[in-house]
């Protein structure tokens, strides 16, 4: 098993902090890397890890992952009191999801944005 496969397994077991240590700085297997980064960022509210997840999802060409990560960044920005940044991330998420045809998810984010 590769270190990335072990990292994914650890993430599924709820041990994402250990998984992060196994990833290193490579760009191979971007979908798996994105999954680990996203899960740990979600647990820790770490914007830097959300950005790593976003980059990995871009490399993997995963529109849903991109949209979900941007929306997570929007919510985190809102929690931190930065409504302008929250709006920016939410609009990017809506655009990414709409462009990929995922209008249901885009509409959910639009509703969240309208409620802010």
The arithmetic mean of pLDDT across residues 71-87, rounded, is 98
> Is the pLDDT higher at 69 or at 25?
69
The arithmetic mean of pLDDT across residues 58-77, rounded, is 97
Q: Write down the domain spans for the chain.
A: 1-49, 62-116
Per-residue burial over 86-114, b if 16 or more Cβ lie within 10 Å, else e, is beebbebbbebbbebebeebbeebbebbe
Tens of pLDDT along 24-38?
777 689 999 999 999
The arithmetic mean of pLDDT across residues 43-57, rounded, is 97
Residue 1: pLDDT over 80: no
């Amino acid at each position: 098993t590769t270190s990335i496969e072990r990292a994914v397994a650890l993430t599924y077991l709820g041990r994402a902090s250990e998984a992060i240590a196994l990833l290193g700085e490579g760009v191979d297997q971007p979908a798996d890397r994105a999954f680990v980064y996203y899960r740990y960022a979600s647990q820790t509210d770490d914007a830097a890890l959300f950005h790593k997840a976003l980059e990995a999802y871009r490399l993997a060409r995963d529109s849903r992952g991109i949209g979900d990560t941007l929306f997570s960044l929007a919510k985190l920005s809102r929690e931190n009191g930065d409504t302008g940044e929250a709006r920016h991330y939410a609009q990017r998420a809506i655009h990414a999801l709409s462009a990929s045809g995922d209008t249901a998810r885009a509409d959910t984010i639009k509703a969240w944005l309208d409620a802010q």
